With several copies, the nearest count.
Chain A
Amino acid sequence: MMTESKEIKLIDEEGRRVDGRKPDELRPIRIEAGVLEKSDGSAYIEVGRTKIFAAVFGPREVHPKHLELPDRAVLNCRYHMASFSVDERKPLGMTRREIELSKVLREALETVVFLEEFPRTMIDVFVEVIQADGGTRTAGITAASLALADAGIPMSDLIAATAVGKVAGTLVLDINDIEDKYGEADMPVAMTPRRNSIVLLQLNGRMTSEELKKALEMASQGIKKIYQLQIEALKKRYSVVSLEE
């Protein structure tokens, strides 16, 4: 994000992006709930080539015991990338980036889950990035909140998320890996769509105050669309469940 690319044209003469999208256009998104057998809830998301599984276990016994909270559930969140999910093979073990993202995802999820309903228990959320092509934390939390819903964990709202970037001076919705690498800014945003409130917000890169406000508005519009896809995925899942039962 530090050097503006001299070679790669991030916005062409017609205002199109490297993958042909318009600035405010999302990548193709596929969302599915209930994709894994053994977790209590799960989801799969594809945003362009970004591919992520999320799974939820719990509420279950807290282990180790001393982490237990008397008045609510402990929410545990792990954001993790497969070694082959990125261009250069990621070594095994958690990187500092994965540790930080686990924290911001956990904090966002804590905002919506009714943890008080399950004191002395633990809810585990595992986000596994199997391919990373930009926007993994936002796709990851979108999948994670769906997996929580699939697990029947009560929440005040779903969380939907996307990242707004700035490339060649233009704000663009749902930035991909190349735009992130050669662009000027990457701002992941997660919101509770019904209340239109931010639950996760980060920025890497430079924006003016005005750009930042516009970028938040742009994110908010994209998030509403992603939320619709989540709802559809849940409906599909529930109808399947209904048929099955």
Chain B
Amino acid sequence: MSLSTKSPRMSPIKIMQNRIYELLKQGKRIDGRAPHEIRPVSISTSVIEKADGSAMVSMGGTKILTGIKVETGTPYSDRPNEGVFTVNAELLPLASASFEPGPPDERAVELARIVDRCIRESRAIDLEKLVITEGERVYMLYIDIYVLDYDGNYFDPAVLSAVAALATCKIPRYEVRNGKLERVEGESMKTPIRTIPVSVMIGVIQDRLLVDPSPMEERALDTSVILGYDSDSNIVSIQKNAPGLLSLNIMEQIIELGSKKAEELRSILVEAVGLG
């Protein structure tokens, strides 16, 4: 069940929308940014010692913590020679007055699935390297994302934190000795990363685009799209995540803008995690 929410069509929104649009035409935004300017990004990795990988990412006022726990388990029967990963996301109630405690709602589910898609469809993790015994025992990565502070656009920092946590994750090594699975004490391996996916959230008001929207902008947008890109500028995932019309012409502009901003975010990420 998915229900309409209060914000989109109220009249104060229309007024705000006009104001944002007028500013955009002048190349400006309410918080002083340029239309295609992303807020400052900071990335700290290995912040949770008990997690195998972790990263705290802030993008303006939005703050995301991702932690990864590695376990071992059986592979999917149709993919016997691949490790497994799952992505969960929680919109913690301390992050915003609009988040409620309880099981993940549709927004949290969507966030988890968008991050999952960016990683999975870009084939960022070489899952074939996460096999202990083919068809029997593989590594399982639990990638858990917590939104700690929500100041607009949790998608892009969530992807950044998930990928930063993955790239710095120390997977504890296991071996099968005498038919028994054993932890190889003190040994770990890096996550086998093939590409660095990032996502870019782009908002549309009439014929203008903006990136990395603030909460006020999110409410005023005609619509918005989140695009995932791999290191080779392929698009690996798209999610139109709001009501509203999107012309083919605008969509083409979005694709090009997204590609540029993706490179920008990727270079920040690569620097932070020391990849490249």
Contacts and interface: CB of A to CB of B under 8 A. Distances in A.
B121 A1 contact: yes
B149 A37 contact: yes
B123 A2 contact: yes
A82 B113 contact: no
B109 interface: yes
Interface stretch (B19-27, B65-73, B129-137, B156-164): B65-73
B117 interface: yes
Interface in B58-78: 61, 63, 65, 67-69, 71
Contact of A100 (B1, B113, B235): B113
B97 A220 contact: no
Given A102-B1, A197-B245, A82 B144 contact: yes
B50 A199 contact: no
A202 B238 contact: yes
B230 interface: yes
B48 A126 contact: no
**A-side interface mostly:** mixed
Nearest to B6: A69
Nearest to B146: A82
Contacts of A39: 94-95, 97, 149
B144 A203 contact: no
Contacts of B107: 103
B148 A128 contact: yes
A18 interface: no
Nearest to A54: B94
A230 interface: no
B32 interface: no
Contacts of A124: 93
A195 B245 contact: yes
Interface of A: 1-3, 36-39, 42, 49, 51, 53-55, 57, 60, 67, 69, 71-78, 80, 82-87, 89, 92-94, 96-97, 99-100, 102-108, 110-111, 115-116, 124, 126, 128, 130-133, 185, 187, 192, 195-209, 212-213, 216-217, 220
The 4 closest A-B pairs by CB, nearest first: A84-B67, A55-B94, A203-B238, A126-B94
Given A199-B246, A206-B234, A209-B233, 5 more contacts: A38-B149, A84-B51, A89-B71, A199-B243, A216-B248
